[in-house]
Amino acid sequence: KRLPQAIIIGVKKGGTRALLEFLRVHPDVRAVGAEPHFFDRNYERGLAWYRDLMPKTLEGQITMEKTPSYFVTKEAPARISSMSKGTKLIVVVRDPVTRAISDYTQTLSKKPDIPTFESLTFKNRTTGLIDTSWSAIQIGIYAKHLENWLLYFPIGQILFVSGERLISDPAGELGRVQDFLGLKRIITDKHFYFNKTKGFPCLKKAEGSSKPHCLGKTKGRTHPDIDQEVVQRLRDFYRPFNMKFYQMTGHDFGWD
């Protein structure tokens, strides 16, 4: 068992589960199924505890884990860096407005009596002041969170995966990820088929199985209808942060 050489650090509702499931098809990738939450919630348990969660690997295989809340955790960059400065980091990002709605949809499925999306979005509806303390909004200010990581890791050690392209062109995005991890490009178009009912790509064969595999019922939930004016307000709010993020990463994700 080895400490992970690569970690999917974010973002929540960005497509991290899909990326991990797709990557596990690769014979040289071994990953923990559940999110360890070591660098945010379980750090005091120590590295030996963390290592023990990891799967056994052979020489030349990469150990991975994913915990999307790391990206927004203040202490995570320093902690990961002190484990290993060479850790490769992967961030799956998607349009922050749809990400926020998806985040809300997930919470709604667990707590049906929460306030409306609209009322949670604004500190004050009349002035249109956005409530940035609400985590669903907060997570999508990617540029702000990224600054924290760049204090500890060079930008070249972080790969930004487009959550949108993970759906529209999974093999293309997986090609970039395999290159970044220094893996042979084994996962290609032939591993995927598009499931029209879910609106998601699925794997023809999952890791260790001969059956096709789609992500679980909780993925690809139908979003509630959100007032278009609210959506527009959020687009305007995120635009400057998105622009900054595009500059920082050298990649235009086309969210505007």
Just list the catalytic residues.
Answer: 13
Tell me the binding residues.
13-17, 94, 102, 219-223
Residue whose token pair is 């990891």: 54
Tell me the binding residues for 3'-phosphoadenylyl sulfate.
13-17, 94, 102, 219-223
CA distances for 64 relative to 50, 110, 251, angstroms: 12, 29, 25
> Could you tell me the two tokens for 143?
């540029």
203 conformational bin, left if phi > 0, alpha if psi -120 to 50, beta if neither: beta
Q: What angle do CA 29, 155, 256 make, to 5 degrees?
A: 95
- What is the largest distance, in Å, between two alpha-carbon atoms of the chain? 60
Q: What is the separation of C-alpha 213 from the centre of its chain, rounded to a whole number of angstroms?
A: 20
CA quadruple 196, 68, 135, 133: dihedral sign: negative
Q: Which of 17, 37, 1, 22 is nearest to 187 (CA)?
A: 22
How far is it, in rounded angstroms, from Cα 253 to Cα 256? Answer: 9
